[in-house]
Amino acid sequence: MQNRDKNYLFLIAAHLLIGVLIYLVPVFAKVYGYSIILIGILFVIKKRNKNNEVLYASAYIIGSEVLLRMTDGNPVYEFSKYGVMIFIIMGIFYSGFSKYSVPYWIYILLLVPGILMATHELNLQTEIRKTIAFNIAGPICLGLASMYTYNRKISYDELNNILLMIGLPVVSCAMYLMMYTPNIKEVLTGTGSNTELSGGFGPNQVSTVLGLGMFVFFSRILLVSKSKLIFIANLGVALLISYRGLVTFSRGGMLTGLIMIFFLLYFIYINSKSQGKLKLFYFFGFLFVVFLLVWSYTSFQTGGLIEKRYANKDAQGRVKESQLTGREDIAAQEFDIFLNHPFFGAGVARATEIRTGINGFRSLSHNEISRLMSEHGALGILALLVLFITPMILYLDNKQNIYIFCFLFFWLLTINHAAMRIAAPAFVYSLALLKVQFNED
């Protein structure tokens, strides 16, 4: 066994152990969480960001965010977004940023009027600073990360290593979930998203990060498994993450991860020669069988409830009235708010207050697109256009970034079902702007 393989297997084993330790010794979550930021800062300072170390540190924060949230391992709830911004600012200090990243300066400036509106429009009972920070931290994180990654040169191997930094903490998360609910039948009561099967945390966010981790390790099965042992290790981890993602009963994150996998396969297929296409065809068949086995095992463990969940049925097999668990009603109300405030919007977080007044209860937006429209008005639409158009233009001269559409679809699909509650869509979006270069071999 080569040292490279030994080191890789050690990393996997270490992160499985981290998941176990956090469950058995809850205070270890804080030790783990604080260590990430401290070691990351020392790592970047020592290397002076010569090899984009800030992206590795940020990626690790992204992968660990949900695990640390569910175990109270972060200093504050939104710390992961702030942590990514701290590292990105360090990266800009050491390595600068492209003078052509003007679109993301514009994007950030387009958000400012909505922030100013909020300071005047939010209710006096509202903690204005915290409320604005909660709603705007994700978009600002995206803007800063994109400024740094815009057309920044990076090797294909480095990009795969950055993805691995996202995936490793997800291994710990999946292991923690296994320890938290080893027998899912004891807590399974219906076809709704299940908090008990999500570590006592929000199933939507847990499903999102597990879906991303599933993609990371299936991509490594396809592209980075250079020995049979590593192939088996990656397969085992991917199966574990996929299973735990399915039993959260939250569909958005798992469907997003699956779509990312198929886009990666399609992108590689159309850019492969005939021999490569044949190998990819076999891999696609293998992947289909693997997913079928995972689905069958999950169906057995859930007594067939997982099929009803994805068919939008309740435990008795009746089709539910809403396919999106009421999120479409929130989006419709936000569109009405946009029509009433078409130019500058209602102001950051103000849409939530307006809906609370109408409905009689507080409900946060799950859709970043409708939220930007309602709270930022026409400026929010312009900000979205910047985010959509810029990577498409870069793609014309950046076709070696084989993950580009995977990253963009992760961002787009995630902000449509989970808004920007976690930092992952912001950071993953920024990876689509990297200029990837293959090594000669």
Question: pLDDT tens digit string along 61-100?
Answer: 999 999 999 999 988 888 899 999 999 999 999 999 998 9
pLDDT for 260 beyond 70: yes
E-state strands within 81-204:
153-155
pLDDT band of residue 361 (cuts 50, 70, 90) is low
Q: Round to whole Å and give the CA distance between 52 and 8.
A: 21
Residue type, 35: S
Tokens of 94: 């050491």
What is the model's pLDDT at position 317?
Answer: 67
Region of poorest pLDDT, from 49-53, 119-123, 408-412: 119-123
Question: pLDDT tens digit string along 285-335?
Answer: 888 899 999 999 999 988 888 988 888 877 776 776 655 556 777 888 888
For residue 261, give the nearest of 213, 297, 301, 228 by alpha carbon: 213
pLDDT, average across residues 197-217: 93
Q: Could you tell me if 187 and 247 are in contact, meaning their C-beta atoms sit under 8 angstroms apart? A: no
What is the model's pLDDT at position 324?
Answer: 56
Q: Round to whole Å and give the CA distance between 432 and 395.
A: 9
Q: Could you tell me if 367 and 330 are in contact, meaning their C-beta atoms sit under 8 angstroms apart? A: yes
Q: Round to whole Å and give the CA distance between 112 and 348.
A: 10
- Phi/psi of residue 436, nearest 5 degrees: -90, 135
Q: Round to whole Å and give the CA distance between 181 and 197.
A: 6
What is the model's pLDDT at position 121?
Answer: 65
pLDDT, average across residues 104-129: 78
What is the model's pLDDT at position 321?
Answer: 62
Region of poorest pLDDT, from 97-101, 160-164, 398-402: 398-402
| CA triple 175-428-239, angle to 5 deg | 30
What is the model's pLDDT at position 28?
Answer: 96
Q: With the C-alpha atoms ordered 225, 228, 229, 231, is the resulting torsion angle positive or negative?
A: positive
Q: What is the largest CA-CA distance in the chain?
A: 66
What is the model's pLDDT at position 439?
Answer: 63
Q: Round to whole Å and give the CA distance between 362 and 279.
A: 52
Q: Could you tell me if 197 and 177 are in contact, meaning their C-beta atoms sit under 8 angstroms apart? A: yes
For residue 120, give the nearest of 345, 337, 336, 343 by alpha carbon: 345
What is the model's pLDDT at position 304?
Answer: 87
pLDDT for 47 beyond 80: yes
pLDDT for 122 beyond 70: no
What is the model's pLDDT at position 185?
Answer: 81
pLDDT band of residue 202 (cuts 50, 70, 90) is confident
